[in-house]
Amino acid sequence: MPQPPEENEQHEPEDAEPTAAEGPGWLNQVPYLLVLATMGAGIVVVAAAHFKRGPAIIAGSLLLGAVLRALLPAERVGLLAVRRRWVDVATLVTLAVLLIVLAWVAPQL
């Protein structure tokens, strides 16, 4: 037999809207979308035959991703969170540094 809910027990309705502090779920993907848009801009610059500027923009987007992953809480980074925080940040920074070195040593065409 079902028992009536306790007086102290709190129940949220199943169709409750997110509170203003939580915000909508898609808002958590904004850091990822920002990094993705910046990386896309770098790819467009590379496609326009700017082989030094393009990788620098892409490296900047990777560094932006590393900063966002390091500073934002786990609930707010969205798809930037792949592994542990330090692994993600170290991977992004390493890739950015390698890309900057590659752009620096690439010959100007």
Residue 17 pLDDT = 52
* Interatomic CA distance for residues 12 and 22, integer angstroms: 15
Structure tokens at 5: 């809910």
Q: What is the DSSP letter of 52?
A: T
Residue whose entry in the numeric block shows the structure tokens 């330090």: 86
* Interatomic CA distance for residues 66 and 88, integer angstroms: 7
* Interatomic CA distance for residues 86 and 71, integer angstroms: 11
Residue 26 pLDDT = 79
| Predicted confidence pLDDT, tens digits, the chain (109 residues) | 566 556 555 555 555 555 445 667 778 889 999 999 999 999 999 999 888 889 999 999 999 999 999 999 988 888 888 999 999 999 999 999 999 998 888 777 6
Residue 24 pLDDT = 76
Amino acid making up residue 18: P
Q: pTM value?
A: 0.74
Locate the domains of the chain by residue range: 26-105
